[in-house]
Structure 1
Amino acid sequence: MTEFRQITERESLRKHVAAIHIGGKLTLLQRKLSNCLLLHAYDDLTTKSSHRIDAETLCAMSGYASRDRDTLKAALRALAETTAEWNMLGDDGQEEWGVSSLISYAKLAGGVCEYAYAAPLAAKLYDPSVFSMINMRIQRNFTSGHALALYENCFRFVRTGSTGWWEIDVFRRLMGVDDSAYYEDFSKLNAKIVKPAVKEVNAVSDISLVAETRRESRKVKFIRFLISRNGQETLFDLGDDDALRKSGAYGRLIENGISGRLAQRWIAEHGEAYVAGKLDFVEEERRRGRVRKTPAGYLTAAINGDYRRSDPGPGPAPAAEPGPRLSGAPEMEESQRDRDQAAEARWRRACLEAIEANLEKRSSVSRKAIRDRFETGLEDEFERGQFRRYGWQARGIFARIHGFWSGLIPEGLPDRDAF
């Protein structure tokens, strides 16, 4: 979720970048779970005193076995025992400090998780000038808790381009290793924590990091991270897109118990046709009596690639992401599924690289003409909105992008079978 941020630059304070510290001892799963809870509750953070989510949906979003209630209970307990501390400068120039438990309570009953945030913390989390929510799809890529913690810290500063200088002791707290004598040696901290975490963030996320250090008396005392965008959009960049919320798939997702914020994210990431195909599949499963309780958990698994169907609907299915295997889903060997996902991602990336290489050879006038021609050929406002927002990187209209460029590049785009 969010981490402690020591602000040393007055300019950043004037921009209302807050220092929100959440204990660094959270495991990777607990950290993912906290982000999923926040995403689900976000639209109602300041208007409702508590929030409810189907336990299967929560497990599917977080990426672990949906029937493992002991793990879920342990994670919720850890979140309730973790303190969140903030330190910020208000409009009146006065410093505000506060502390709260991360979630004020949690309850599991009848397959539903009920939870709440303390009102002052909820107000901070709801304010995008203070707190930036991360992309759930990107979160699923992380395999290291230290890397995810570093990503969350640095992501808050993506608009300023730098975290500012953190004291090494503060950074150790962020990574949850402040009580380890081993990591008091910066060379060990750098080799085991900093370098691997930076490498993973740069490989799997939407930002790129460069670590810099500053010495005092020949000893490393401070560290900061320079941040740049890495070609993808963030959750808050999505905004309140009217085209997304007016789509038929959005309404059907809401009817199936999916939060508005998550519904918008799914449609933006995967495209309306893909989401509609998954909705059709889950509704068909319900008619056959294969869906127990609420359909939200099954739908989450289907969107994330845990269900496979022979006809996923028009448009390409994006690379499926790993997640829980729910009962009633066709079995597939984990290793084979991982290979398929990796191959799909490599092929899409190779296509986009070929497109970018072709564009680089063209003049600015030619690039604009091609862009205008492609946008004119899009069928509806949703597709045009996707292209205006994400450009050639728009996953939701990848099929149209692929078809368009296949006819423009003489040698064609990479063959899917080669991957």
Structure 2
Amino acid sequence: MNVKKEVIKHSAAIHIQNDITLVQRRAWNVLLANAYDDLPLKDVYFMPIHDLAQVMEFDSKNEAYLKEALEALVGCKVKWNVLDKDREIEWGVTTLLAQAKIKNGICTYAYSPEMRTRLHNPRMYARISLSMQNKFNSKHAQALWELCVDYLNETKNYGETPFISLESYRMLMGVAEDMYPEFKRLNTRVVRDPIAEINKFTDFVVESECRKERKKVTALKFRVRRTLELPKSVGKQGTLFPDIEDMPGIVHDLKEIGLAASDAWEIWQKRFDYVDGSKRPQGVEFETYIQEKLHLLKQRQAEGKVKSATGFLLKAIKQNYANPEFVAGDTKKKAREETNTQYLAEHNRYLLEDQKRALQTNRDEELHKLCARIFTEDPALLTEITEAIFKENSVLKKMCQPEKPLFENYQDNLSLRVLVDQCVMDRYPKRFLPIRALYDSQLTALDAQARPANAPRLIEPVRR
């Protein structure tokens, strides 16, 4: 089994109005992780049900329940981007999956073409741990934890959500208006209990804040702080500190001097809170502040005035020893250059992704037009394919409107359209080759354009 340990999840896919169960949310995350790399390349994805159950830590013997949960995701319509964090795209309402079935121990599933392009290479995302999500016992804790992960600043190990109206919070948690109508009960069941679960099982410490209008609570805000050590209730999780490749440069520099890992990480986490209150500098970046103290240490060592390097450095940082000879200009200039380079590279990446999304959308539209033309020429083929699909997926059949002609249902029902089009493309692949070849060559050219990381240059924006 080669399954990822985390899923890159678009912020808009975290901020969803939903009534899905805890098992369904876990399963959707695992399926997205499994399909992620192939989202722009394939239409249908496969995963052994044994692997899916193993990653979810689910009893694979109860396959009927898991099958029922997955099939329900096909008919489950959700409102995406509830908090409007992604202001650039109108997300609207769609199903979580366009297709899901289990046959011969294999789970076959698909997303709508539009959803595939949006879920891949998102502008705003959170890395959701697939092992950590299995710690939760309630869907509210899982949903709130994902929200906190999304707003966490990885550098500062701290973050906070905007104020969320109670109406929006109910949407995010899948709680109807008539459930827990009094805030006191809502606060206990859907705020305090999930927070307690998160604080118990993860390396997060979450707090809530209420906003009142006329003595009535109208909105909630959540603050999240990541600690260096997981709670004991989680059990041993390996080393206390991240691997060296994930280690911030400051921590690495402090450890090289001989500082204990715990001291180095404490300084990094607390930042200027580590410095005595009356000694804290103003208008100085923390990285520059630490480099100044390291420079002072080397200077004093050269003068033979330091007995203990670590002891001197800790005092210098805590008490803000002065270092008049330190010049931060070169450091700042280098930082600005690096920032400009990173910005340019990021700008190019966004433009390339925008071009790819536009091409993929145009390709999918052209493929669908050809499918519709085929069915116009041969209506019996549409009847044959839809009847076969309805035998496998009764939920999808119920979503169709019997008073409408079959072709209209096919055009209006996105989930049905995706499955039907895929069947036609599988049956007559040669008829679709010219369209695929045209767009695939352009997509390949864009991928090649994205590979060189050095010497960034501006890319012309896509012309629609």
TM-score by length of 2: 0.46
Q: 2:55, 2:131 within 8 Å by CA — same for their partners in 1?
A: no
- Listed as ranges, the matches of 1:194-209 within 5 Å are 194-209=191-206
How large is the Cα RMSD of the aligned pairs? 3.5
More helix by share: 2
Q: Distance in 2 between matches of 1:365 and 1:23?
A: 45
Say yes or no: does 1:102 pair with 2:96.
Answer: yes
Counterpart residue identity of residue 218, structure 1 = K
Cα distance per residue 1:183-234 (max 9 Å; x no partner):
121111111221111111122224322101100111000001112233389x
Counterpart residue identity of residue 116, structure 2 = A
1:126 equivalent among 120, 128, 136: 120
Aligned length: 238
Partner of 2:169: helix, strand, or coil? helix
1:18 CA drift (Å): 4.1
Counterpart residue identity of residue 49, structure 2 = A
- Listed as ranges, the matches of 1:135-146 within 5 Å are 135-146=129-140
Q: Distance in 2 between matches of 1:99 and 1:205?
A: 31
Partner of 1:156: helix, strand, or coil? helix
Cα distance per residue 1:44-82 (max 9 Å; x no partner):
122211110011111111122112221111111221122
2:256 equivalent among 356, 368, 388: 368
- Listed as ranges, the matches of 1:96-245 within 5 Å are 96-159=90-153, 161-181=159-179, 183-231=180-228
Q: Distance in 1 between matches of 2:122 and 2:204?
A: 18
Counterpart residue identity of residue 123, structure 2 = S
Counterpart residue identity of residue 224, structure 1 = K
Q: Distance in 1 between matches of 2:192 and 2:77?
A: 28
Q: Distance in 1 between matches of 2:235 and 2:88?
A: 52
1:113 CA drift (Å): 0.5
1:372 CA drift (Å): 10
Counterpart residue identity of residue 345, structure 1 = K
Percent identical residues: 32
TM-score by length of 1: 0.50
Say yes or no: does 1:29 pair with 2:12.
Answer: no
Q: 1:124, 1:130 within 8 Å by CA — same for their partners in 2?
A: no
Say yes or no: does 1:51 pair with 2:45.
Answer: yes
Q: Distance in 1 between matches of 2:178 and 2:169?
A: 13
Counterpart residue identity of residue 72, structure 2 = A
Cα distance per residue 1:288-347 (max 9 Å; x no partner):
xxxxxxxxxxxxxxxxxxxxxxxxxxxxxxxxxxxxxxxxxxxxxxxxxxxxx969629x
Q: Distance in 2 between matches of 1:368 and 1:76?
A: 51
Match of 1:250 in 2: none
Q: Distance in 2 between matches of 1:135 and 1:19?
A: 15
Match of 2:370 in 1: none
Q: 1:20, 1:85 within 8 Å by CA — same for their partners in 2?
A: no
Q: Distance in 2 between matches of 1:162 and 1:36?
A: 26
Counterpart residue identity of residue 223, structure 2 = L
Q: Distance in 1 between matches of 2:234 and 2:175?
A: 36
Match of 2:448 in 1: none
Q: Describe the shift of the 1:174–1:364 C-alpha distance in structure 2 as closer, same or farther (beyond 3 A).
A: closer
Counterpart residue identity of residue 172, structure 1 = R
Q: Distance in 2 between matches of 1:364 and 1:54?
A: 42
Q: 2:208, 2:223 within 8 Å by CA — same for their partners in 1?
A: yes
Q: Distance in 1 between matches of 2:14 and 2:130?
A: 20
Q: Describe the shift of the 1:71–1:23 C-alpha distance in structure 2 as closer, same or farther (beyond 3 A).
A: farther
Larger radius of gyration: 2
Q: 2:136, 2:142 within 8 Å by CA — same for their partners in 1?
A: yes
Q: 2:73, 2:97 within 8 Å by CA — same for their partners in 1?
A: yes
